[in-house]
């Protein structure tokens, strides 16, 4: 068996994923990412407690509001993120932080339901930016991360801590500090910047 997941065939990848009770559907790069995540995190072997298709119970999507419009959201701090990641022998997540800083977050929406805050976000994939993953996170009133899931290959709940989940958590922490958070550069923003650059040239002509 090849030691590098990327060198394995699809049948080999599926056979290895089966040992973890993991999903075996998806394209090859998704299978590779999923297997690497399961091998990297020993806690993944416990997923049979929840079943291979665990899904968070989330509120009606219509209840969510854009995070910019909800100033009551307590968010979570860097300390809570570190506490959450410590369960997986991690102190921080550089890839997740880089994704957040580089504008991979499309939106963050929140709602308060059954004594907890629910966060829903869309995050672009790093390998294929045309692919977007929906991230769901449940945060307690004490700002602790209770549950999380992501649509990516490594994002099975209830304890998903993939880079997409971490990027969303960093957006929540940034909101606590500054009352806002970073999102991808929209077409409107790009057009506005282009106008500012070209306008003096037009006037000179």
d(CA 96, CA 193): 27
Task: Confirm whether 165 is domain-assigned.
Answer: yes
| 167 shares its domain with 74 | yes
For the chain, what is the domain count?
Answer: 2
Each residue's pLDDT, cut to its tens digit, for the chain (205 residues) gives 345 788 889 888 888 887 776 677 777 877 787 777 667 654 444 444 444 567 788 989 899 999 886 678 888 999 999 999 999 888 888 999 999 999 999 999 999 999 999 999 999 988 777 788 899 999 998 999 999 999 887 888 889 999 999 999 999 999 999 888 999 864 444 443 333 333 343 334 3
Entry pTM? 0.68
* Within-domain flag for 185: no
Domain membership of residue 174 (yes or no) is yes
State whether 85 and 173 are in the same domain: yes
One domain for residues 10 and 78: no
Strand order in the sheet with 145-150: 65-66, 105-113, 116-124, 132-140, 145-150
Residue 191 is assigned to a structural domain of this protein: no
Residues 34 and 86 in one domain: no
In a domain, 112, yes or no: yes
Same domain for 159 and 77: yes
Question: Range of 9's domain?
Answer: 5-49
**Using CA atoms in the order 170, 34, 136, 98, what is the torsion angle rounded to 10 degrees?**
20
Picking from 107, 104, 118, 125, the residue whose alpha carbon sits closest to that of residue 167 is 104
């Amino acid at each position: 068996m090849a030691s590098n997941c990327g060198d394995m065939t699809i049948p080999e990848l599926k056979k290895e994923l089966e040992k973890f009770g993991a999903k075996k559907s998806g394209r090859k790069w998704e299978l590779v990412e999923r297997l690497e995540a399961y091998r990297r995190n020993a806690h993944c072997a416990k997923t049979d407690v929840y079943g291979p298709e665990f899904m968070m119970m989330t509120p009606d999507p219509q209840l969510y509001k854009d995070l910019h419009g909800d100033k009551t959201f307590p968010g979570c701090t860097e300390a809570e993120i570190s506490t959450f990641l410590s369960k997986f022998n991690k102190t921080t997540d550089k890839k997740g932080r880089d994704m957040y800083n580089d504008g991979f977050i499309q939106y963050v929406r929140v709602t308060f339901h059954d004594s907890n805050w629910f966060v829903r976000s869309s995050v672009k994939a790093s390998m294929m930016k045309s692919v977007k993953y929906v991230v769901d996170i449940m945060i307690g009133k004490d700002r602790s991360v209770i549950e999380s899931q992501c649509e990516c290959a490594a994002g099975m709940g209830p304890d998903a801590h993939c880079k997409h989940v971490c990027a969303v958590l960093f957006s929540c922490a940034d909101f606590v500090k500054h009352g806002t958070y970073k999102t991808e550069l929209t077409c409107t923003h790009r057009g506005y910047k282009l106008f500012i650059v070209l306008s003096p040239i037009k006037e000179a002509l």
